[in-house]
A and B are shown apart, each in its own frame.
Chain A
Amino acid sequence: MTSALLQADAIHLGFGGIKALSGVSLAARAGEITAIIGPNGAGKTSLFNAISGFYKPQQGQVRFEGRDITAQGPARRAALGLARTFQNVALFRGMSVLDNIKLGGHTRLAANPFTALWYLGPARREEMALRREIEREVIDFLEIDHVRHQSVASLSYGLQKRVELARALAMRPKVLMLDEPVAGMNREETEDMARFILDIQEERGITVLLIEHDMGLVMDISNHVVVLNFGQVIGTGAPAEVRHNPEVVRAYLGDKAAAGVSA
């Protein structure tokens, strides 16, 4: 059985009087695509934020490669190999596509203010190496070479999401967390994105954790599905199993529909 690369154990997360997550546990197995689904407000993005390190859970642990990272901040977790994208595209609007992607390589570079101001020498060398690497591994792969010098603000929504994925890939992550990667995309764009995610998993062996509402995508590409509702896990398993889980059907479609599903 493949081991869990990223694990959340019994996470309890609350804000003031609101309980966002109650005892949520999740295991993303190495090399697999794990999907988190659930109705709006179920706590999916809160879970992502807890795993990323933006929220500190009141109880519970986040473990990466077996080690407890609950106390570490987002920047530290990025250095460990955790990359994520956001629901509302979080690109840096003041920069070009290329510069945005280069930021993915931030933790792997070494320039400091002194070498940067001078530029010639070590800073320039690592910039050239990064540029070559990004062109080869990310820009070609995601087919965005034609927009590399454009400002991200001028791109279509679908392309922006692809650039955000590119930036996450430039981190050479071990775990890639995608928050609604195909939200707002049409059929063609969704299929392109699905192809990219599968390639990322198969060719690069990256573990993928994704939040999605598009059931077609989830059923097609995920190895494992976790269902959240009202801050609790109400079902986990392979996609086919989860689809027929009466709790899950009730959460999405109501009691009448659940009654019609065989247990």
Chain B
Amino acid sequence: MRIGDFRASYAHDEALWPTRVQQTWLAALAVALVMLPFGVNGYIVGLACMVGIHCIAAAGLNIMTGYTGLISLGHAAFMGVGCYAAAWAAQRGMPTLLTLLWAGGLAALLGIAVGLPSLRIKGLYLAVATLATQFLLVYVFREWDSVTGGVRGVNVPNASLFGFELLNDHRMYYLIVPVAALMLVAARNLFRTRVGRAFIAIRDKDISAEVLGINLLHYKLASFAIGSFYAGVAGALLGYFYRAMTPEYFTLQLSVFYLAVIIVGGLGSMLGTILGAIFMTLVPELLRAGVALVAQWAPRATEILSPVQQVVFGLLIIGFLVFEPHGLLEMWRRVRRVFHLWPFRA
């Protein structure tokens, strides 16, 4: 039960984790994250890395779509841009952390270019424009052999931190997770300032936003830039994680996956982003385990794993939209309310 929760200063009121209990949980989580790779097998560490990458990408998409209302069906293409940019730079000796900035920056510039029409076209039309961009960029990935390696793909050199090569998932974990944590907190910080508030204002009522002095084009472009920056960094980390990349990875299907992550997790919330990323990474794993189990009786089951995944994916999106539109975040909040009010009823 939450009692004695009062704030004696505005600074305290504005803090992200004001109560003692929250701070304790946060510390415990930090310790758990640091210790995780030592306690579990390599496969789970790999999964954790993917969750981290998904968190970064989905956070960027949530900034654009969840908070600012700019629907993007081309997020995967921006990840691709980041990935190829990082690979290109790393092959030429650029230090890893710098390649992350380079990848994000390039993706951000492209994001601004794609976002320029957003003043004239809104909603559905913007979604279609981003869809077209998605296909065009994949075409570029496939054809621009000299930079992207074309259909064969590109080899990404090993990531390294301060001379220490990250040769396996275990080590990549200690690059990905801190970067993800940092970027998630940074994203949350946006919305404690006028920049983030402007984004939400644009989403909710852009006419009102203008009347308050918000230059719509400026802030829409900023949203595209930041969201694409996140995508670029996620793409770069993905490249380092897999050590090789082909254009087939960054297709519409991946863009749709990230949209599902933020819808299932909760639009307009960083906690929702994390919940969605974890959930949507676990679902295919659970399906795989389930199918392996069923395969004992029905051998054909393994053949249809991929289409079944598609069906489950589609049904999840539909299910959440119809029954729980605010996503896992809302379910989480309900649980929290029960704990805050216990032993009284929520």
Contacts and interface: CB of A to CB of B under 8 A. Distances in A.
Interface of A: 52, 54, 73-75, 78-79, 83-84, 86, 90-95, 99, 102-107, 109, 111-113, 115-119, 123, 127-128, 131-132, 135, 167, 171
Contacts of B204: 92-95
Contact of B190 (A74, A99, A113, A128): A113
B10 A103 contact: no
A92 B208 CA distance: 8
A111 B194 contact: yes
A107 B301 CA distance: 60
Contact of B213 (A79, A95, A113, A115): A79
A128 B222 CA distance: 23
B194 A128 contact: no
Contacts of B216: 75
A127 B210 contact: no
B189 A119 contact: yes
A54 B207 contact: yes
Given A75-B213, A104-B212, A117 B268 contact: no
Interface string B200-241: 110111011111111110000010011000000000000000
Contacts of A111: 193-195
A118 B183 CA distance: 10
A9 to B, nearest CB: 22
Interface string B106-129: 000000000000000000000000
B336 to A, nearest CB: 16
Contacts of A92: 200-201, 204-205, 208
A29 B215 CA distance: 29
Contact of A117 (B186, B197, B213): B186
Task: Please classify the interface of chain A as helix (H, G, I), strand (E, B), loop, or mixed, using the class held by over half of its residues.
Answer: helix
A128 B197 contact: no
Contacts of B268: 94
Task: Please classify the interface of chain B as helix (H, G, I), strand (E, B), loop, or mixed, using the class held by over half of its residues.
Answer: helix
**Chain B interface residue count: which class?**
20 to 34
A137 B205 CA distance: 25
Interface in B163-199: 186-187, 189-190, 192-198
Contact of A102 (B11, B187, B197): B197
Contact of B197 (A54, A84, A106): A106
B68 to A, nearest CB: 11
Given A90-B207, A117-B189, A112 B195 contact: yes
Given A113-B226, A117-B190, A103 B197 contact: yes
B200 A95 contact: yes
B186 A95 contact: no
26 contacts: A73-B210, A75-B215, A78-B210, A78-B211, A86-B208, A90-B211, A92-B200, A94-B268, A95-B201, A99-B197, A103-B198, A105-B194, A106-B197, A106-B212, A111-B195, A112-B195, A113-B190, A116-B190, A116-B195, A116-B196, A118-B189, A119-B186, A119-B192, A131-B10, A167-B212, A171-B212
Nearest to A104: B212
Given A106-B198, A112-B195, A116-B189, A90 B208 contact: yes
